[in-house]
């Protein structure tokens, strides 16, 4: 099923299941553009961009539980103006200083069995904090992998790669339109980042040949204010089978679905609340488990950012729902 048909079907489901849904747009009509049409003007990478070597001022960060995006790999970078720092205040998003830039690049290795055979950069998404508001946009990489260009309309790009089992794979990766970017990142009609909540940054990473808590590492790099609250929560990696099933499933729903299915999101009129910190009885997951399973099986949830079904994620949620 094509991406267009997925969206059309999802809208039909929404109309029938939520008759009282508001007709207003989930985003604000105020739409300030990003400042550059070419990604290279941000000076994100040092040397050949395909090497993904961050330029000075940009720092790599990881998140414990990440959005499924048609099997793409992602590199996440953040830059704050000199002399400023992020401030962690609770489990949610940090306070970001004015001028912060967040860049996320999507790519595929040509052969998952041998990364030395190179990679293909597909898209880089930018979030920039200007005048107290987050501005979002997507840049598509050219065939020569020398630069990426801002798109507002959305683009489908054919991607070929060999997966870890040696199977040749192909799909039409969808680079979202500006409207789609804003819809997913909508929080009370304003734009906010999704992934870098403190609880999704609060886990051990490998840096300099040793394991260190990521928040502590970013603090030593001068990116985060050194006063970090104690007893911060930590989102589990939903791939980790050593973690309890309920925690894994809730983490999956949080990062893949909760940006829309929360009281401040673009799907706020739909009854489900998928944020990890929401008490179970308030999520409505148990009451809607059949509908949730069916929407995921048919590829209609998550509705944006994917064109193929996340088989592993689907099996995780099916197992979780079956045990409720």
**pLDDT 10s digits, 272-308:** 899 999 999 999 999 999 999 999 998 877 766 789 9
**pLDDT 10s digits, 246-269:** 999 999 999 999 888 887 777 767
Give yes or no for a contact between 134 and 192, defined as CB atoms under 8 angstroms apart.
yes
Q: 48: which residues sit within 8 A by CB, 6+ positions away?
A: 145
5 vs 80, higher pLDDT: 80
Give the least confident one: 128-137, 174-183, 200-209: 174-183
pLDDT band at 22 (very low <50, low <70, confident <90, very high): very low
Cα–Cα distances in angstroms (integers) from residue 312 to residues 112, 234, 239, 293, in the given order: 17, 22, 9, 13
Give yes or no for a contact between 124 and 89, defined as CB atoms under 8 angstroms apart.
no
Q: Where are the domains of the chain?
A: 1-25+240-324, 31-235
Whole-model pTM: value is 0.88
Comparing CA positions, the residue from 233, 237, 279 lying closest to residue 62 is 237
Phi–psi pair at 179, nearest 5 degrees: -65, -40
Q: What is the pLDDT of residue 243?
A: 97
Q: Over pLDDT 70: what percentage of the chain?
A: 89
Phi–psi pair at 196, nearest 5 degrees: -80, 50
Phi–psi pair at 128, nearest 5 degrees: -130, 130
Nearest-angstrom CA–CA distance, 113 and 109: 9
Give the least confident one: 23-32, 197-206, 294-303: 23-32
């Amino acid at each position: 099923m094509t991406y267009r048909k997925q969206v059309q079907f999802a809208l039909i489901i929404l109309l029938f299941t939520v008759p009282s849904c508001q007709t207003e747009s989930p985003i604000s009509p105020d739409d300030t553009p990003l400042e550059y049409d070419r990604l290279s003007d941000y000076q994100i990478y040092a040397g050949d961009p395909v090497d993904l070597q961050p330029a000075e001022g940009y720092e790599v960060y990881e998140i414990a539980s990440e959005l499924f995006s048609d099997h793409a790999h992602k590199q996440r970078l953040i830059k704050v103006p000199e002399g400023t720092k992020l401030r962690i205040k609770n489990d949610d998003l940090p306070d970001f200083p004015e001028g912060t830039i967040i860049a996320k690049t999507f790519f595929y290795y040509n052969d998952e069995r041998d990364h030395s055979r190179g990679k293909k950069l597909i898209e880089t998404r930018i979030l920039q904090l200007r005048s107290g508001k987050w501005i979002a946009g997507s840049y598509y990489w050219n065939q020569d992998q020398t630069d990426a260009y801002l798109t507002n309309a959305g683009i489908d790009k054919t991607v070929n790669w060999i997966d870890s089992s040696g199977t040749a794979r192909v799909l039409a990766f969808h680079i979202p339109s500006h409207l789609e970017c804003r819809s997913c990142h909508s929080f009370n009609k304003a734009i906010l980042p999704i992934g870098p909540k403190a609880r999704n940054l609060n886990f051990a990473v490998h840096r300099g040949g040793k394991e260190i808590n990521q928040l502590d590492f970013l603090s030593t790099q001068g990116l985060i204010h050194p006063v970090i609250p104690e007893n911060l929560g930590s989102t589990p990696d939903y791939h980790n089978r050593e973690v309890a099933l309920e925690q894994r499933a809730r983490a999956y729903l949080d990062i893949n679905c909760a940006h829309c299915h929360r009281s401040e999101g673009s799907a706020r009129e739909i009854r489900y609340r998928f944020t990890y910190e929401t008490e179970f009885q308030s999520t409505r997951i148990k009451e809607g488990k059949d509908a949730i399973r069916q929407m995921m099986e048919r590829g209609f949830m998550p509705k944006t950012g994917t064109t193929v079904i996340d088989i592993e994620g689907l099996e995780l949620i099916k197992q979780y729902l079956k045990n409720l």
